[in-house]
Structure 1
Amino acid sequence: MAGNSDPLTPRAKIAVTAGKAVAAASRAAGRGSGSVIGGRVALKLDPDLLARLAQNLDVVLVSATNGKTTTTRLIAEALRAAGPVVSNALGANMPAGITSALAGGSEARYGVIEVDEKYLAGVARDTDPKCIALLNLSRDQLDRAAETRMLAENWREGLAGSKAVIVANADDPLVVWAASSSANVIWVAAGQMWKDDAWSCPSCGGVMQRPGDDWFCGDCGFRRPTPSWALSGDHVLDPHGSAWPIHLQLPGRANKANAASSAAVAAVFGVPPQVALERMYQVQAVAGRYDVVQFQERDLRLLLAKNPAGWLETFSLIDPPPTPVILSVNARGADGTDTSWLWDVDYTRLTGHPICVIGDRKLDLAVRLEVANQQFQVCENLDQAVQLCPPGRIEVIANYTAFQDLRRRVGN
Structure 2
Amino acid sequence: MAGNSDPLTPRAKIAVTAGKAVAAASRAAGRGSGSVIGGRVALKLDPDLLARLAQNLDVILVSATNGKTTTTRLIAEALRAAGPVVSNALGANMPAGITSALAGGSDAKFGVIEVDEKYLAGVARDTDPKCIALLNLSRDQLDRAAETRMLAENWREGLAGSKAVVVANADDPLVVWAASSSPNVIWVAAGQMWKDDAWSCPSCGGVMQRPGDDWYCGECGFRRPQPSWALSGDHVIDPHGSAWPIHLQLPGRANKANAASSAAVAAVFGVPPQVALERMYQVQAVAGRYDVVQFQGRDLRLLLAKNPAGWLETFSLIDPPPAPVILSVNARGADGTDTSWLWDVDYTQLAGHPIFVIGDRKLDLAVRLEVANQHFQVCESVDQAVQLCPPGRVEVIANYTAFQDLRRRVGN
TM-score, length basis structure 2: 1.00
Structure 1, residues 137-186: CA drift from partner, whole Å, max 9, x if none?
00000001010000000000000010000000000000000000000000
Structure 1, residues 351-390: CA drift from partner, whole Å, max 9, x if none?
0000000000000000000000000000000000000000
Deviation at 1:294, TM superposition (A): 0.1
Report the secondary structure of 2:158's partner residue: helix
Deviation at 1:31, TM superposition (A): 0.2
Counterpart mapping for 1:63-212 below 5 A: 63-212=63-212
Q: Which structure 2 residue ranges, 5 or more long, are not aligned?
A: none
**Within the alignment, does 1:291 sit opposite 2:291 as a pair?**
yes
Q: Using the alignment, how far apart are the partners of 1:156 and 1:60 within structure 2?
A: 18
Report the secondary structure of 1:255's partner residue: helix
Structure 1 match to 2:35 = 35
Structure 1, residues 182-212: CA drift from partner, whole Å, max 9, x if none?
0000000000000000000000000000000
Q: Which structure 1 residue ranges, 5 or more long, are not aligned?
A: none
Structure 1 match to 2:277 = 277
Q: Using the alignment, how far apart are the partners of 1:244 and 1:382 within structure 2?
A: 41
Report the secondary structure of 2:256's partner residue: helix
Q: Using the alignment, how far apart are the partners of 1:111 and 1:241 within structure 2?
A: 29
Q: Using the alignment, how far apart are the partners of 2:306 and 2:144 within structure 1?
A: 14
Deviation at 1:44, TM superposition (A): 0.1
Structure 1, residues 16-39: CA drift from partner, whole Å, max 9, x if none?
000000000000000000000000
Structure 2 match to 1:228 = 228
Structure 1, residues 318-363: CA drift from partner, whole Å, max 9, x if none?
0000000000000000000000000000000000000000000000
The two structures, once aligned, show a CA RMSD in angstroms of 0.2
Structure 1 match to 2:254 = 254
Counterpart mapping for 1:15-54 below 5 A: 15-54=15-54
Deviation at 1:233, TM superposition (A): 0.2
Deviation at 1:246, TM superposition (A): 0.2
Deviation at 1:102, TM superposition (A): 0.1
Q: Using the alignment, how far apart are the partners of 1:362 and 1:71 within structure 2?
A: 30
Q: Using the alignment, how far apart are the partners of 1:401 and 1:40 within structure 2?
A: 21
Deviation at 1:58, TM superposition (A): 0.2
Report the secondary structure of 1:71's partner residue: helix
Q: Using the alignment, how far apart are the partners of 2:360 and 2:165 within structure 1?
A: 42
Structure 1, residues 102-143: CA drift from partner, whole Å, max 9, x if none?
000000000000000000000000000000000000000000
Report the secondary structure of 2:113's partner residue: strand
Deviation at 1:252, TM superposition (A): 0.0
Structure 1 match to 2:400 = 400
Deviation at 1:63, TM superposition (A): 0.0
Q: Using the alignment, how far apart are the partners of 2:355 and 2:178 within structure 1?
A: 39
